[in-house]
Amino acid sequence: MILHSQPLYGGTETLLSKTLHDLEIKAVGFSDGTDEDKVYEAAKLAWQRGRVAMILIETPANPTNSLVDIQLMRQVAEVITQQQGSRPILACDNTRLGPLFQRPLQHGADISLYSLTKYVGGHSDLIAGAALGSRALINKVRSLRSAIGTQLDPHSSWMIGRSLETLSLRMEKAASNAEQVAAFLRDHA
């Protein structure tokens, strides 16, 4: 069972609703990741339906920018642990804010997930992802990656390394530009 925020990136929605569902891995979603009552209501429904193995959140969500309180989700994970005797993994897709503007591991997430294709890659010239977390969890991810063969090729790895050199410059400039647009719209509304 996976408890998850809604909406999620379209590919992730398909993974949950089709691919994993067909493998009889069920999911329960919640739509407001800052409303404690709604989150706990969904959590209760999830643990009543089966063992919750993972809480998957995306904050801010793609494409709506809706937010999920990561620390609240850590508290939810602890309540689920008390109910079922095992702690679900709290995974946070942090693609939208990237590693500069939000650090989910510091707020209680177990794993921070990234589509490296977007900000990190920065040039739309590769397809890759990353998972950051404790050595124990990443070793499990590494085992799965090895089993299904999703290692990144050497050239794409080089391109990620190239892009990491300018990541902070690009993200800080994008944030600055967004602030200027927001100020303009505020002043000309």
> Smallest Cα–Cα separation from 59: which of 50, 48, 49, 69?
69
Q: What is the pLDDT of residues 117-176, one digit of tens each?
A: 988 998 889 999 999 999 999 999 999 998 998 899 999 999 999 999 999 999 999 999
Cα 40 → chain centroid: 19
Residue 79 has pLDDT above 90, yes or no: yes
Q: Are the C-beta atoms of 59 and 67 separated by less than 8 Å?
A: yes
Domain boundaries, the chain: 2-187
Contacts of 8 (CB under 8 A, 6+ apart): 16, 56, 58, 61, 62, 93
Tell me what pLDDT residue 126 has: 92
For the packed helices 36-49 and 70-84, what is the interaxial angle rounded to 10 degrees?
Answer: 30
Q: Cα–Cα distance between 60 and 68 in angstroms, integer? A: 7
Determine the average pLDDT of the residues in 16-43: 96
Tokens standing for residue 112: 């921070």
**CATH T-level assignment (fold) for domain 2-187:** Aspartate Aminotransferase; domain 2 (3.40.640)
Strand partners, 89: 54
Residue 75: the pLDDT is 98
Arithmetic mean of pLDDT, 59-63: 94
Ordered alpha helix ranges (H), 16-153: 21-22, 36-49, 70-84, 98-101, 135-148
Q: What is the DSSP letter of 61?
A: P
pTM over 0.85: yes
**pLDDT of 31:** 92
